[in-house]
């Protein structure tokens, strides 16, 4: 390339720049970056544990049962099915991009993914095991002992190590490269006009007051039913159950809108299956705004651009139990 060519290229590049500039710094929503994996072996161990139903008392329920990575990191049920088909109290939030949340669970009672991971294992309505039994199961399996030794320097296996590994895997479950992210990074053609106008409206009416950041949510607790009360049979009190403060009643963690087209049904009670209805409810109850059909359709079109790259890995193969492994208890008589 000679000087003239370089100059011409430079000028052309400058002319093109506005259309391809990174919008991220100007917007309340920022693109998701691909996961930076510093310890792939720990992630691999965490993936096995995530898929291992032997962490439940029945031997049937794994993390993936209710946070199904084939289905947007959810079970697509209003509330989950737990041990002996018990009905869970609240909608299972997606595990995708959950590392970006300010805290875990709808009421934020766990500080981070590691603190969350231990909860369902010992919850009698969910996996119905306990940390002692779960660790005893893993200790009885030579391949797990070897993996824990390689990752943590000893074969002891503690629940702290178990949840560290699961959290390390979950931290990789981010969904970059949604069409919206491509647009944020400057590719004008990544979104249609309707989708762009839906995003403009989303900001204009105030959705971004709560739904902001890379996960488009997950960064604050907000009252469900701010302008108008939310009608539900679900008894969850939200943040008040953690803080004991009356002011925190119905304060829930703002859910992420990433992959929202995959994570139906919506809200903490899972009462709404249709994204259009969910948008309508949010606009009315949180913003006091009745959207017309066109406005609703534009915002829904925008929301559908938030589906990013889904988990992309091989189904883990689990090491077999041994005669020493505590047996699962799927039914009372066994």
90 neighbors 234 (Cβ within 8 angstroms): yes
**Residue 323 engages a copy of itself in binding (rule: CB under 8 A):** yes
Any binding-site annotation on 211? yes
49 neighbors 64 (Cβ within 8 angstroms): no
Is-cis flag, bond preceding 265, omega within 30? yes
CA distances from 250 to 17, 25, 62, 203, 231 (A): 46, 33, 29, 24, 11
In the complex, what is the shortest distance from the CB of residue 63 to a copy of itself, in angstroms, rounded to a whole number? 12
**Residue 72 engages a copy of itself in binding (rule: CB under 8 A):** yes
User: What's the Rg (C-alpha) of the chain?
Assistant: 23
Using the contact rule CB under 8 A, the part of the chain among 20-28, 52-60, 213-221, 241-249 near a copy of itself is 52-60
Between 20 and 273, CB nearer to a copy of itself: 273
**Residue 51 engages a copy of itself in binding (rule: CB under 8 A):** yes
Between 124 and 288, CB nearer to a copy of itself: 124
**Residue 331 engages a copy of itself in binding (rule: CB under 8 A):** yes
Q: What gap in Å lies between CA 167 and CA 229, rounded to an integer?
A: 35
- Active-site option among 41, 44, 122, 126: 126
**Residue 142 engages a copy of itself in binding (rule: CB under 8 A):** no
CA atoms within 13 A of residue 287's CA, in its CB half-sphere: 19
Q: What gap in Å lies between CA 63 and CA 49, rounded to an integer?
A: 8
Q: Judge whether 143 counts as a catalytic residue.
A: no
Q: What is the token pair recorded at 187?
A: 């590719």
Using the contact rule CB under 8 A, the part of the chain among 54-62, 151-159, 166-174, 289-297 near a copy of itself is 54-62
15: region left, alpha or beta (phi > 0 left; psi from -120 to 50 alpha) = alpha
Among 65, 91, 101, 296, binds a copy of itself (CB under 8 A): 65
Token pair 């300010």 is found at 102
Angle ∠(223,224,228) on CA atoms, nearest 5: 100
Any binding-site annotation on 16? no
Using the contact rule CB under 8 A, the part of the chain among 165-173, 217-225, 239-247, 270-278 near a copy of itself is 270-278
Using the contact rule CB under 8 A, the part of the chain among 69-77, 91-99, 130-138, 165-173 near a copy of itself is 69-77
**Residue 318 engages a copy of itself in binding (rule: CB under 8 A):** yes
**Residue 81 engages a copy of itself in binding (rule: CB under 8 A):** yes
In the complex, what is the shortest distance from the CB of residue 130 to a copy of itself, in angstroms, rounded to a whole number? 20
Among 24, 110, 236, 261, binds a copy of itself (CB under 8 A): 261
Q: How close are the terminal C-alpha atoms of the chain, in Å?
A: 77
**Residue 235 engages a copy of itself in binding (rule: CB under 8 A):** no
**Which pairs from 244-253 meet CB under 8 Å and 24+ separation?**
248/221, 250/223, 250/224, 250/225, 251/221, 251/222, 251/223, 251/224, 252/106, 252/107, 252/221, 252/222, 252/223, 252/224, 253/101, 253/102, 253/103, 253/105, 253/106, 253/107, 253/108, 253/218, 253/220, 253/221
Residue 165 bridge partners (DSSP): none
In the complex, what is the shortest distance from the CB of residue 42 to a copy of itself, in angstroms, rounded to a whole number? 19
Among 30, 76, 130, 237, binds a copy of itself (CB under 8 A): 76
In the complex, what is the shortest distance from the CB of residue 34 to a copy of itself, in angstroms, rounded to a whole number? 17
**Residue 127 engages a copy of itself in binding (rule: CB under 8 A):** no
* Positions in the binding site for a copy of itself (CB under 8 A): 51-54, 58-60, 65, 68-72, 75-79, 81, 84-85, 87, 261-262, 264, 273-274, 276, 310-318, 320-321, 323, 327-328, 330-331, 334
Task: Kindly list the catalytic residues.
Answer: 126
């Amino acid at each position: 390339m000679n000087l003239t060519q370089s100059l011409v290229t430079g000028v052309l590049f400058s002319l093109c720049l506005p259309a391809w500039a990174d919008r991220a710094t100007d917007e309340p929503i920022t693109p998701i970056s691909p996961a930076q994996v510093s310890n792939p072996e720990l992630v691999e161990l965490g993936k096995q544990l995530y898929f291992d139903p032997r962490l439940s008392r029945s031997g049937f329920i794994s993390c993936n049962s209710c946070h199904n990575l084939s289905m947007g990191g959810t079970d697509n049920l209003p509330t989950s099915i737990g041990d002996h088909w018990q009905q869970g109290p609240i909608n299972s939030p997606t595990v995708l991009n959950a590392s970006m949340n300010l805290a875990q669970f709808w009421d934020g009672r766990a500080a981070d993914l590691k603190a969350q991971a231990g909860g369902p294992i010992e919850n009698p309505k969910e996996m119905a095991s306990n940390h002692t039994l779960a660790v005893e199961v893993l200790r009885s399996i030579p391949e797990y002992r070897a993996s824990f030794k390689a990752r943590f320097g000893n074969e002891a296996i503690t629940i702290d190590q178990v949840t560290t590994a699961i959290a390390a895997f979950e931290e990789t479950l981010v969904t970059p490269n949604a069409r919206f992210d491509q647009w944020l990074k400057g590719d004008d053609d990544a979104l249609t006009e309707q989708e762009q106008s839906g995003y403009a409206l989303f900001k204009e009416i105030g959705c971004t007051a709560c739904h902001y950041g890379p996960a488009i949510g997950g960064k604050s607790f907000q009252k469900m039913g701010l302008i108008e009360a939310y009608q539900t049979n679900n008894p969850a009190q939200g943040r008040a159950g953690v803080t004991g403060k009356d002011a925190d009643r119905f304060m829930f963690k703002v859910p992420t809108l990433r992959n929202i087209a995959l994570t139906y049904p919506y809200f903490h009670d899972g009462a709404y299956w249709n994204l259009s209805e969910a948008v309508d409810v949010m606009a009315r109850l949180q913003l006091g705004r009745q959207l017309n059909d066109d406005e609703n359709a534009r915002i829904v079109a925008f929301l559908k651009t938030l589906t990013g790259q889904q988990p992309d890995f091989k189904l883990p193969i689990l090491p077999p139990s041994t005669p020493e492994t505590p047996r699962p208890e799927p039914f009372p008589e066994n």
